[in-house]
Structure 1
Amino acid sequence: MQKQSINAENYYDYICVIDFEATCEEGNQLEFTHEIIEFPIVLLNTQTLEIEDTFQQYVKPEINPQLSDFCINLTGISQELVDQADEFPKVLRSAIDWMKQKELGSRYSYAILTDGSWDMSKFLNIQCRVNRLRYPTFAKKWINIRKSYGNFYKIPRNQTKLSTMLEKLGMDYDGRPHSGLDDSKNIARIAIRMLQDGCELRVNEKLHDGQLMTVPSSVPIGGAPVPQMPGFR
């Protein structure tokens, strides 16, 4: 399909696709604390409809530093990778610095895009509490592509898993499932196709006082400036 140019007045300049990987156990118990172990960002240029750059860092967990065999097999992230990684506050600082280098929120408007609500409302929210960090401003609103996909293509919400969305668009998964970076790239491929098909991808969820909320579709497009590193409480 020929790439289409997108009107800058109607869209964000960039979309940052984020799909965290976190510690997990088979049949996760309710008391298990999920910690982020991979922080990827895929930078999608909405003008060219191309992935312009990527960010990826692994994260050393603190509460459960030893990964379960289930987690290693699911994510492909080895114990050695997380043992050698930085802890979350330093990785978050690196991610924010990377976004600033891309001039997101200053020269260019942008939005965060995720596959569902959990990345921000659960995983990042929990991680910030674990590290006693203020929840970062840039991640308080995002595009839940599952909602956008279901609404745009008139697909039931239970048919908006990543693999199903790809399949319905005639695409195969590219890479390793449950790799945060590969998942993010595949989510970006879906976003590109939706933009090509005329979908207006807009922020549709937010976190307010720790609670997940729906954002009305009439909310104007923006892109909050990337903040300074969130401080400790």
Structure 2
Amino acid sequence: MRYQNRSRRPRPKKQLPISAVNGVSPSQVLPLRSKQYYDAFLVVDVEGTCKLGTDFNYPNEIIEFPVCIVEWRDRSEDGLGSVLEVVDEFRSFVKPTWRPTLSNFCTQLTGITQEQVDSSPHFPEVLEHLEAFLVKNGLIEQGTRQRLKKFCWCSDGPFDIRDFVVKQCYISQVQMPPWLQSDVLDVRSTVLQYLSVLPPASIPQLTTTQGGITRRSLNIATQLKVLELPEFQGRQHSGIDDTRNVAKVLIELARRGMCLLPNTTIHPGKRWAWMGRDGEVLEAGLTCA
């Protein structure tokens, strides 16, 4: 499936923070203003149903959908900016349909209870609420659903929209809305890009990880640490708490002069072996039932 209304975006150039060039600490030169091409960033970290022993090929159903809207406070007419701030939040629990009973593993991991999802709307209704939230914040036009601002979805890794939302749209038999059909800024990759040009000795805790910091080891808590931000606030694997902390990382990257651009391609038509017809989940296609 081709994307709707996709515009060509600028390719990010290899960025050298001033601290890497001049050999000074970031705190001595911040904030750094750089050219920014997006008006707003929608940070998301969904939680989904899961079972012990499964991986990202499992037909996870979304059970929590949080979003933080982050916008510029200082961007000039020529696009230079460094100061981002959270302007609004959305959060909804979601009632699953294929496997409506949460596993003990899922509840222990996410903190989400059976009572919370049982009393929540199904995914199509949550999409309607999220769309109204975007309309309220002037990001899309009511009715036409056209974008009024140039915004970019952001997440820790590519999985939230690329996998979880695509799977859920299939299971719920709804078309992915046009305002969701765009590429995503993988914040973890952007942090790695920033770290790649810094001297290893200048990165906090780098020497404690054998072989250096890898993508696998760079979870949200570690991203906060290497950017010298306060520790993770809240409960890890709570969707809203993860989202708020990822937003802090994004805000810090902007302060350090990173040009914030999408770096992960989303395919709304992606398919898995367990997908049958009309939203059916084929048990034979599951690696772990």
Identify whether the pair has TM-score above 0.5, normalized to the shorter chain. Answer: yes
Note the alpha carbon deviations across 1:91-124, whole angstroms, 9 max, x for none: 0111011111111144432111011111011100
The Cα of 1:145 is off from its aligned counterpart by 0.8
Contact 1:121–1:210, Cα closer than 8 Å, also in 2: no
The Cα of 1:164 is off from its aligned counterpart by 1.5
Aligned to 2:203: none
Aligned to 1:15: 41
Alpha-carbon distance change, 33 to 49 in structure 1, aligned in 2, over 3 angstroms: same
**Could you tell me how far apart the structure 1 residues matched to 2:56 and 2:43 are?**
28
Contact 1:159–1:165, Cα closer than 8 Å, also in 2: no
Number of residues of Structure 1 aligned to a counterpart in Structure 2 = 213
Whether 1:158 aligns to 2:208 is no
Whether 1:210 aligns to 2:269 is yes
**Could you tell me how far apart the structure 1 residues matched to 2:92 and 2:226 are?**
31
Structure 1: stretches of 5+ with no match in the other structure: 213-231
Task: Choose which of 168, 173, 186 in structure 1 pairs with 2:245.
Answer: 186
Aligned to 1:104: 139
Aligned to 1:69: 104
Q: Secondary structure at the match of 2:266?
A: strand
Alpha-carbon distance change, 108 to 30 in structure 1, aligned in 2, over 3 angstroms: closer
**Could you tell me how far apart the structure 2 residues matched to 1:167 and 1:96 are?**
34
Aligned to 1:218: none
Counting only pairs closer than 5 Å after superposition, residues 86-97 of structure 1 correspond to structure 2 as: 86-97=121-132
Task: Choose which of 37, 40, 63 in structure 1 pairs with 2:66.
Answer: 40
Give the structure with higher Rg (CA).
Answer: 2
The Cα of 1:45 is off from its aligned counterpart by 1.7
Contact 1:15–1:46, Cα closer than 8 Å, also in 2: no
Alpha-carbon distance change, 50 to 5 in structure 1, aligned in 2, over 3 angstroms: farther
Letter in 2 for 1:203: P
**Could you tell me how far apart the structure 1 residues matched to 2:269 and 2:173 are?**
14
Letter in 1 for 2:63: I
Contact 1:14–1:111, Cα closer than 8 Å, also in 2: yes
Structure 2: stretches of 5+ with no match in the other structure: 1-26, 74-82, 141-146, 197-212, 272-277, 280-289
Aligned-residue Cα RMSD (Å) equals 2.6
